[in-house]
Amino acid sequence: MAPSFLNFKELRRRSRASFRTERSTDTSGSSDASNGTTPTTGSLTPPSITQSDLDLNLQVKEKDQAPSPPLALASAQTRPPLQSSSNSNRYSVSGMTGLGSPASSGKGPALPVSQYSPRITNVVENSWVYQKVLLVYGTIGEPSQQSVDGTLTVSRLDDNFAPISWPVCNSHFKALVYMMPGANRLRFDFASPKLANSGSSNPIHASYLTVHMLPPINAPPLQLAIVLAKDSPGTFDAVPARIEREGNGLDTAIRKFRMAAYLWQSFTAEQMWRNKLGRRTFRFEEEWTAGTANQRDREYGTMRSEARVHIIRTEKTLAELRDLDRAQQNPNAKDQGALYGIAADAVKDYFKPLPGQKLYVSVLLLDSHWDIKAKTVTAHAALGGGTGDLQLAIFGSHCLQSYPTSFEEVVPAFSDCTPTDTNFVCNDCTEAGSSWEAANIGIGAHLHETGHLFGLPHRESGIMLRDYVTLNRTFLAREAYSTRTRSKGGPVLQADECTWHRLDCLRFRSHPCFRLPNDAVLNGDDSVHAWPVEGGNVAVTAATGVAYLELLGDGDDVCHHWIEYDSSVQRQVLLSEQELRSRLPEHQRKGKLKVSIKSHGGGELNIDDFGKLSSKESCFKLPSAVPGMGKLAFRGKKLGFSQMEGSQPQELVFPSAMRQDRVLYRIIVYHGLALDGLEFVYDDDSRQLFGKKGGKEGGDVFDMDIRRGEYIAGFYIRAGAWIDGIQILTSLGRRSPVFGNAHGGSGHTLIPPRGYTICGVTGSCGTWVDGFSVIICCR
């Protein structure tokens, strides 16, 4: 018998097991191991199916195939990124059919990358995003060397969303991608009649990208609502051809409004990313409904989780809304914001928010109508802002016919040069002379009002000026003829697009609607306060940290100059008037200086006259037994407007701050639904009253633990036009209840800056306390 090592059957069996491998064991030529370079981007050959997609792997098993790798291993092996390495040869693919085409099984040699495979420039492999619709852009080949036109087709490897095609102009492209929670594995194919293989079933000009999406459900949503009269037919203005083609009923309005909101969301996320603030954007409340984002979904009745559009009917009739609007357009009308109030009441009645629950709602007024005889749009208003806990924006539907209803219609909608027929629809502000310009005005101006909803003022540029007339450029590589500028249009690059202003982005960074799942938990107190201190400076305190300052010189209506602070939390910042004025133009340095201070928590404090706050008017000397030896005391920035009828200034200094033989041991708070007064009681039974003894009879008592040396460390104030409520904070960490209205106004924590202590209170009182601050001095 032959020796065991000559057993040829065993040798053959072992050699098959030994040599049948999924990859070479020779790593000498591996790009991963040479000089740390990254794999070539836009690879024509997708990674092995067993590495990139477990579901697809199950469909292509062979009898002798090795078992699939575990999920952890599969997820760790990612497909090549889309950025090409420095030593890759993108110009080596032959035009012959089949050469360089992706292998369906993911096996085989790594073939060269086509020079025309799309390069995504704003999203990298395995990026994380937090919105439904992602804007991507990039180039084909080398635009500086060779310019090509064609079509980019974006598809999902799992085919869970219809492939959508986007135009390529001068080697540049922009595309919208529908995101689903989890990993979104995408393929980008470029085709052009001038290139080989473009029309074949085996295209070679392809690249791949994986993007992970995580819905930020820890942030409050922006609600979308259509508001209409109680007897409204639920239609909007449109030309007959549009009505015949797509209808003008409520279902069409919902699809158009939803698609416009997706454009807002993708635009905002991209702007935040460009400002290096993360891909932050607002989210929408969603509902499980028939998908409308692409035409295939509508044809097949595919169900998806889409942005919900609430339908809200008012108590007003259609005739009442239109008559009311005609009256409003009279310059002498008393109530210019009646439609806003009607919409606000309808929204509150529909959502029924709980006390303290903040709502953010953007409303489309469906009954807006172009009155041909009066040459005006009735039942329309463009307003945004806040009323209590409701942040509301409203805009009419007079441009709605021009909006896209799905991804496939975005480019056609923003390229449609059909003249506006004023026999049926309006030419808004004479800037909507064509269909695509009407889409810009409607979608962009509504986004402008939504910006006001989020607390944005007007700006020197961007959406919050009127730059939304070029909103289309964000989504197009080529602009069509413009009736507004009478220009023929042409290629559009990033520098030509409209933007959110840098200050808008900084504001969004701190807004609760823009929070990301991995954001650190912030202090619940978002307030900011300013304190005059020694040296003519002002100390600014904020529990969440000071984010940035806006500086407005004399005569400025919008902010042109600002100071940003780094991402580290700076809870106290010292401001010098001279330093702030040095940032203004020479002709504004001696005028009135307004400073608006923003915290990382979203709070703000406006100082209308910084020079006055930092001047000697804000300080005085405390009385002392030794003449000339009294400490300097400083009055902090006042809360409340001090504008009630009969309001009188009041101020008192605690005797315990001037004498060693006096101790404050009790505070009596007089209140009802607002603060009426504070009575300070000392150990010798002497008393000081700030305000009045109103509200609850006898007031509420808060005792200090004088045996342990307890003293007032600060106050928590609820304030708006007056002082709604007050809470006492002590040096031992104790807090009194909030006396008065605990939910009125907004919250402000008054704790002196480091090195200072409270020595009195100041403010004003009318029917009740309508102004309040504290007096501080050095310890």
Active site residues: 449
Distance CA(100)–CA(97), nearest Å, equals 8
- CB-CB contact of 581 with 549 (8 Å): no
Distance CA(63)–CA(71), nearest Å, equals 21
DSSP run (H or E) holding 436: helix 435-453
Distance CA(759)–CA(655), nearest Å, equals 8
Distance CA(362)–CA(226), nearest Å, equals 9
- The sign one gets for the Cα dihedral 494, 500, 503, 508 is negative
- CB-CB contact of 759 with 657 (8 Å): yes
The helix-helix angle for 318-328 and 338-351 (nearest 10°) equals 140
Q: Which amino acid is at 453?
A: L
What is the Cα 518 distance to its own chain's centre? Answer: 16
Q: Which amino acid is at 262?
A: Y
User: Strand, helix or coil at 208?
Assistant: strand
User: Strand, helix or coil at 603?
Assistant: coil
Q: What is the length of the chain?
A: 779
Torsion angle in degrees (nearest 10) through CA of 228, 232, 233, 235: -40
- The sign one gets for the Cα dihedral 639, 643, 644, 650 is positive
Count each helix (H run) and each strand (E run) in the chain, helices first: 14, 39
Residue 608 backbone zone (phi > 0: left; psi -120 to 50: alpha; other: beta):
alpha
Distance CA(220)–CA(282), nearest Å, equals 8
- CB-CB contact of 132 with 224 (8 Å): no
Distance CA(459)–CA(560), nearest Å, equals 8
Distance CA(546)–CA(601), nearest Å, equals 9
- CB-CB contact of 130 with 516 (8 Å): yes
Distance CA(474)–CA(494), nearest Å, equals 8
- 587: DSSP letter: G
- 121: DSSP letter: S
DSSP codes, 306-333: EE-EEEEE-SS-HHHHHHHHHHHTSTT-
- CB-CB contact of 360 with 513 (8 Å): yes
- How would you label 111-129 residue by residue, b for 16+ Cβ within 10 Å and e otherwise? bbbbbbbbbbebbebebeb
The helix-helix angle for 250-274 and 435-453 (nearest 10°) equals 70
Q: Which amino acid is at 576?
A: S
- CB-CB contact of 271 with 431 (8 Å): no
Residue 729 backbone zone (phi > 0: left; psi -120 to 50: alpha; other: beta):
beta
Look at the block and give the residue holding tokens 């460390």.
Answer: 713
Assigned token pair, 677: 């007064």
What is the Cα 362 distance to its own chain's centre? Answer: 14
